[in-house]
Structure 1
C-alpha cells in the first residue's frame, strides 16, 4: 500500500487520474484535508464521494509518524518528539518557539553515518534514509499535536540531509507547494556537514530555500578530529562547493560553528575563518557546544564574546545562537532517536 505522503502534487494528481480514475479537481480537496486541515482518515473527507473514499482506502494509507514520547522544556517551551515509524524504527524531531516565529526541526535519516564527535545522533550508528512521506509527516504530526501552522522548517534533526538528497528535495516540494503545505521556500533551511557535489547540485534547484553548512573548525587538522567526513571532503573542497553554489544562486550561505573550549575558540581561529570565507557573502551562527558524547566543554563567555567580536570587526555577519531545549536534550547535536522499553508500555 502506498503512503500518500510520498507523492508530490503533480505525482498525486497523475496517479489519481490515470491509476484510480478520480477526477482531477479532487487532488486539491484531498491535499486540503491532509495538509491544511490535518485530517489523516479518508472516511473523514466528507466532500469526497463514498466511492472515491473507498478507492483511496484501497490504494493508499496516510502514514504519519506516531508520537511515542513528548518532552517540553521547562526553560523555553521547546518540545521534543520521539516518533515511531511503521517499521519499528524511531526518530526525534523538535518544535522551537521564538517570539516572532515557530520552527520545526525535522530529521532525514534514522541515525546518521557521519559520526561527528560532538553529536549524539552519529554515535548511535546509521540505519536507513527516511522516505519523503516520513520526512514531511514529522511536520504534520507535530502541527496536529500543537494545533499550530508552522511556517519555518530546518532540516537539522537526525541525519545528513544531502545523503538523502532526492527524498529531501521531494519533501521540500510538498512542504512548499501552494496546494499542499504552502511554506515559503525562504523559510526552509537545509543543513549539511558538507557533501560538495550535492551542494553544487543544490545551486541548480529552482527553489529559494536556504543553505546552512556545519563547518565547526577553520582547518583540516582541527576538523579531522571532530568530523570524520572531513577526511573524505576536506575544508577547501567544501568551501569551493559553497562558492560555486553562491555563484549560481547569489544567495548568502550560513555557516554553523560549534565553539569548543580549548579547541576552536581562540581569536586566531576566528581570523582563520575570516580568511577561509574570503569575499563570500556569509552568516555565521556560533553555537557554544551542548552536552555531548565526547564531553567537550563550552568556552567561557569571555572567549565566546571575543570570537564573536573578531568576526564582526572583520565585517562578518555573526551571532551567538540562543540555546533552546538543552534541559530535554533537544539542542544542537543532542537528538538520539532511541526508545527505552518503558516508553512502549
Structure 2
C-alpha cells in the first residue's frame, strides 16, 4: 500500500488521470488531504465514491498519526503529543506557541524524523534511547497535519516547522527532504520555505547535499564545543576534525543559499560553559557571520546540569564582546520534558 501523503502533487496529477479521473480531481484530492485532514478514505466527502474505490484498488491509502497521550505545559503554550503510527511505532512531537497580546500566535511544530537516534549525544535523552528506524516522509508530514488539525479547531494555523525532534534529520536524508517538499509545495501544505529549519548534529554529506537542493530553508548545526576533543566527549560520532569542517560548512551553505546558519550550543555546567571556553569559541567564530543560539541544557537522565544564570550571561557577554551574534534560547516545555534533548517516549511505560 502507498500512503497518499507520500505522493508529491505532480505525481498526484498523474495518479488521478491514470485511474480515469479528470485532472481537476487532483486539486480536489490535494485540498482534502492538506486542508481537511481526513483520517481515512471515507472522510473525503468531496471525492466521488468511484474515485475512492479506484484509489484503493490501485493500492493507495491514507495513513494518520493517532494521538495516544497529550501533556500541556503550565502556561498552556507548549503541547507534547505521543503519536502512534500505522505500524504501532510511537513518536513524540511538540507544539510551541508564542503569543503577543491579542495577535495570532506564532505556532511552531517540532517534528521527529527517526524513532530514537544513532548519534549518541551524551546530554540528549533521544540519543541515549538507541535507534529503532527512520520515519517515512508521510510519517513526518502526519505529525504536522495532526497539530494543524488541532490548531484549525482554535482558528489558528501552523506558522513554523523545525526538524529538531527525535532523530538526526540528515541521517534520514531522502525522506526528510521529501517531507520538506510536501510541506512547502503550494498545492500541498503550502508553508513558506523560510519558515522551516532543519537541525543537524553535523552530518557533512547531508549538509553538502542540502546546500544543492535549491531550498530556502534554515539550517541549524549543533556545535556544542569550540574544539574537537571536547566535542567528541559530547557527540561521540563526531569526526576528528568536525569543528573545522562544520565551520567551513556554514560558509558554504550561506554562499550557496544566502541563508545564515545557526550554530546551536548547549551550555552544560562545568563542561563547556567557562569564560575560557567562551573566549575560544569567540576566536573560532569571529567574522564568521553565523548566529549562535545558546541553549542552557535541559534535565535528562544523563546527570548534566544547567549553568547558573550569571554563568550563562557571562558566556554570552564574551561572545558579544567579540562581535559574535548570539542569543540565549527561551526554552519552552522543559517541565513536561518537551524541550531540546528531552524527547524519549518514556510515557509509554505508563500507558
Q: What TM-score, normalized to structure 2?
A: 0.93
Residue 257 (structure 2) pairs with residue 258 (structure 1):
no
Q: CA deviation at 1:303?
A: 0.9
Is the 1:212–1:255 Cα contact (8 Å) retained in structure 2?
yes
| Partner Cα distance (1:254, 1:307) in 2 | 17
Distance in 1 between residues matched to 2:51 and 2:89, nearest whole Å = 32
The answer to which structure, 1 or 2, has the higher relative contact order (CA under 8 A, 6+ apart) is: 1
Q: Counterparts of 1:233 and 1:43 in 2: how far apart (Å)?
A: 54
> What CA distance in whole angstroms lies between the structure 1 residues aligned with 2:270 and 2:310?
13
Structure 1 unmatched runs, 5+: none
Q: Which runs of 4+ in 1 moved over 3 A?
A: none
Alpha-carbon contact 1:34-1:40 (below 8 Å) kept: no
Looking at structure 1, the residues matched to 291 and 28 of structure 2 have their Cα atoms a distance apart, in angstroms, of 41
Match of 1:48 in 2: 47
Q: Distance between the aligned counterparts of 2:241 and 2:160, measured in 1?
A: 30
Conserved in 1, the CA contact under 8 Å of 2:202 and 2:221? yes
Check if 1:173 corresponds to 2:181.
yes
> Which deviates more, 159-168 or 139-148?
139-148
Q: Deviations over 1:179-218 (max 9, x none)?
A: 1111000000000000112111111111110000011111
Q: Is the 1:111–1:121 Cα contact (8 Å) retained in structure 2?
A: yes
1:105 counterpart residue number = 110
Q: Which residue of 2 aligns with 1:118?
A: 123
| Unaligned residue ranges in structure 2 (runs of 5+) | 100-104
Do structure 1's residue 135 and structure 2's residue 140 form an aligned pair? yes
Q: Measure, in 2, the Cα distance between the counterparts of 1:21 and 1:216.
A: 55
Aligned alpha-carbon RMSD (Å): 1.6
Q: Which residue of 1 aligns with 2:66?
A: 66
On the 8 A contact 1:160/1:193 being kept in 2, the answer is yes
Give me the whole-angstrom Cα distance separating, in 2, the residues matched to 1:115 and 1:153. Answer: 24
Given candidates 226, 239, 242, the residue that maps to 2:250 is: 242
Question: 1:190 & 1:112 partners in 2: Cα distance?
Answer: 15
Between stretches 100-109 and 56-65, larger displacement belongs to 56-65
Hey, what's the Cα distance between the residues in 1 that align with 2:128 and 2:202? 18
Q: 2:293 aligns with which of 285, 292, 305?
A: 285
Residue 274 of structure 1 aligns with which residue? Answer: 282
How many residues are aligned here?
342
